[in-house]
């Protein structure tokens, strides 16, 4: 899904050309950066399910980084910070830049919602959870396209999986 998040940043770069692409990438990946920090702090958890060898996906307890309400708050914060740090731009330009960053942040929730199992809470950990389980319900080929560690070699058209595993 890493590639999907970066693609969202690229699309928004077309919409708002004045913003550095690096900031859009950062915004599009913000949820996962935050997850990493919160896991280190012990506030969120990454679980390795018992059937990981078959499913190849991890499960998560991540209400603060990946919840719907949290995502809206992070997006609004992204708008506010972007607006605040560009005092030399016109009000219209600051709003557009803030909107692009906010959309980049929220795009992470939308894309993750497609692929995660229902584990993305509406609010806190005990609230209803969202997730369309694309990773769970798709055949291997689509996992190759969506999975972070998969690399597509443009010259050969070969999908390279981790540990040297190669599929066509």
* Count of residues that interact with Zn ion, criterion CB under 5 A: 3
Q: How far is the CB of 9 from Zn ion (least distance, A)?
A: 14
User: Residue 47's closest CA among 130, 106, 116?
Assistant: 116
Q: How far is the CB of 111 from Zn ion (least distance, A)?
A: 8
Q: Write each residue from 108 to 127 as x if it is in contact with Zn ion (CB under 5 A), else as -, in one continuous string.
A: ----x---------------
Q: Which of 12, 19, 24, 32 binds Zn ion (CB under 5 A)?
A: 32
Our CB check for Zn ion shows the closer of 16 and 32 to be 32
- Structural contact between residues 131 and 120, judged by C-beta atoms closer than 8 angstroms: yes
Q: Please report whether residue 31 would count as binding Zn ion according to CB under 5 A.
A: yes
Q: How far is the CB of 98 from Zn ion (least distance, A)?
A: 22
Compute the CA torsion angle 139, 55, 58, 102 (nearest 10 deg). Answer: 10
Chain Cα centroid distance, residue 17: 21
Our CB check for Zn ion shows the closer of 97 and 115 to be 115
Binding site for Zn ion (CB under 5 A): 31-32, 112
């Amino acid at each position: 899904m890493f590639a999907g998040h970066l693609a969202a940043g690229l699309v928004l770069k077309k919409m708002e050309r004045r913003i550095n692409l690096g900031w859009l990438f950062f915004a599009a990946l913000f949820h996962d950066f935050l997850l990493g920090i919160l896991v280190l702090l012990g506030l969120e958890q990454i679980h390795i399910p018992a059937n990981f060898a078959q499913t190849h996906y991890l499960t998560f307890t991540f209400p603060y980084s990946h919840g719907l309400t949290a995502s809206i708050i992070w997006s609004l914060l992204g708008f506010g910070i972007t607006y605040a740090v560009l005092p030399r731009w016109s009000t219209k330009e600051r709003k557009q830049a803030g909107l692009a960053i906010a959309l980049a942040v929220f795009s992470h929730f939308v894309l993750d919602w497609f692929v995660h199992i229902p584990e993305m809470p509406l609010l806190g950990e005990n609230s209803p959870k969202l997730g369309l389980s694309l990773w769970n319900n798709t055949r291997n080929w689509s996992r190759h396209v969506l999975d972070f560690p998969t690399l597509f070699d443009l010259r050969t058209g070969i999908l390279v999986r981790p540990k040297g595993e190669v599929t066509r």
